[in-house]
Structure 1
């Protein structure tokens, strides 16, 4: 998952639906990561996509 954006997006969406909370997919250096939105502080990471289990996915840029 760390280097494949499509796979990271699928995992992020699955995690959002499992936890029933909004998660953020971000990129750090050359790897992707996912964190619950309420655990990310401003400026900590650069978000790429937001996955809301109730509203779907949206690009953050």
Structure 2
């Protein structure tokens, strides 16, 4: 998914689930979203982390 959609989706998930969500880069134009504790990929591919406790 594009970055703008991933950011919107990640923010919404973080606020709804009250869990840390990360956006990670799959390739130049594709990004993924996952719960931080479930993400086991390369830490260098993480673009942004949404922590609902810091957003509030």
* Stretches of structure 1 lacking an aligned partner (at least 5 in a row): 57-61
TM-score normalised per structure 2? 0.81
TM-score normalised per structure 1? 0.75
* Stretches of structure 2 lacking an aligned partner (at least 5 in a row): none
Structure 1 consecutive aligned stretches of length 4 or more whose deviation exceeds 3 Å: none
The Cα RMSD (Å) is: 1.8
Give the match's secondary structure for 1:55: helix
The CA deviation string for residues 5-60 of structure 1, in whole angstroms up to 9 with x for no partner, is 1221111000111111000011101311110000112527710000011102xxxx
Q: Which has the higher strand share?
A: 1
Q: Which has the higher contact order (CA 8 A, sep 6+)?
A: 2
Query: Match for residue 37 of structure 2?
Result: 38
Query: Match for residue 18 of structure 1?
Result: 16
